[in-house]
Amino acid sequence: MNDLVALDFDAGTATITLADQNRRNALSTVMFDALEAAIATVETNDATKVLRLRAEGSAFCAGFDLRAMAEEGMLPEFLNRLGGLCRRLRELHAVVVMEVQGPAIAGGCALVSAGDIVHASPDATFGYPVHRLGISPAVSLPTLMGGAGFGAARRLALSGQLVDARTARHLGLVHRLASDREALALAVDESCRRLASFDATCVRETKRYLNHLDLTDREEGFDSTLDASVKTARLPEADRRLRAAYDSMRARTGR
């Protein structure tokens, strides 16, 4: 791990905190490295009953690092790594509780979709505005459909539009909406304490059967949707659109 991600354990709950707030917790190579390492640690800790995934700053996760995609051609690798993280979160023996404030966009929304229970603050936003970049959000579909259902998955994945927390609650992506960020943290505290008090085997088997029923225990679903996203990412149009978006960002920000 590195200083972009913190991992803490307390009374049956592991907490992973995305801590690159200056870059809105964008998924860069180093962020992926740290997040993968943290999840690997949780996977080997049988005493952990709950994984809490949260973030510092104004955004939960603003998606992939645009510079790395445009200048270094990292999009296919990032899609592979994102798909792997979503699969691991869904397969994790612990219940995954998401604590979402601010934007959870594209890859950030994919991470949220892989959670078992999603709490959000009123300023949270969700969606996949990536078609304009030549990217297919298909990689997110197994967990998005498994968690929020087919209708919500179609709206979010095809429209490219962002939805607010209240709409996400209506669609089923968010399960509990807090009144503000302070109330969000308190609600997640209480949820994690309650879940950590349950019998570990009972919870593990319940999650396993839920995964079986929504088909997220099948590798072919993850593999085929990931392949679809990677296929579009390798097209020249994706490279052209990413470079144009990056140039526009640099002109706007001066960086």
Give pLDDT, residue 246.
92
- What sign does the dihedral 175-180-186-189 (CA atoms) show? positive
Determine the Cα–Cα distance for residues 23 and 63; give it in Å rounded to an integer: 10
CATH number at residue 142: 3.90.226.10
Q: How confident is the model at residue 255 (pLDDT cuts 50, 70, 90)?
A: low
Residue 72: count of CB within 10 angstroms of its CB? 11
Determine the Cα–Cα distance for residues 49 and 201; give it in Å rounded to an integer: 9
For 21-37, the pLDDT digits (tens) are: 999 999 999 999 999 99
Alpha helices in 114-218 (DSSP H): 141-148, 150-159, 165-171, 181-196, 200-213
For the beta sheet containing 50-55, the strands, ordered from the edge strand earlier in sequence to the opposite edge, are 5-10, 13-18, 50-55, 95-100, 117-120, 176-177
Domain count, the chain: 1
Give pLDDT, residue 2.
73
Q: Is residue 81 part of a domain?
A: yes
Q: How confident is the model at residue 1 (pLDDT cuts 50, 70, 90)?
A: low
Q: Is residue 78 part of a domain?
A: yes
Alpha helices in the chain (DSSP H): 29-43, 66-72, 75-91, 107-113, 141-148, 150-159, 165-171, 181-196, 200-213, 219-233, 236-253
Q: Is residue 62 part of a domain?
A: yes
Amino acid at 203: V
Q: Is residue 187 part of a domain?
A: no
Mean pLDDT of the chain: 95
Q: Is residue 142 part of a domain?
A: yes
Q: Is residue 191 part of a domain?
A: no
For 49-78, the pLDDT digits (tens) are: 999 999 999 999 999 999 999 999 999 999
Q: What are phi and psi of 123, to 5 degrees?
A: -85, 5
Task: Tell me which residue range forms the domain holding 160.
Answer: 5-179+200-253
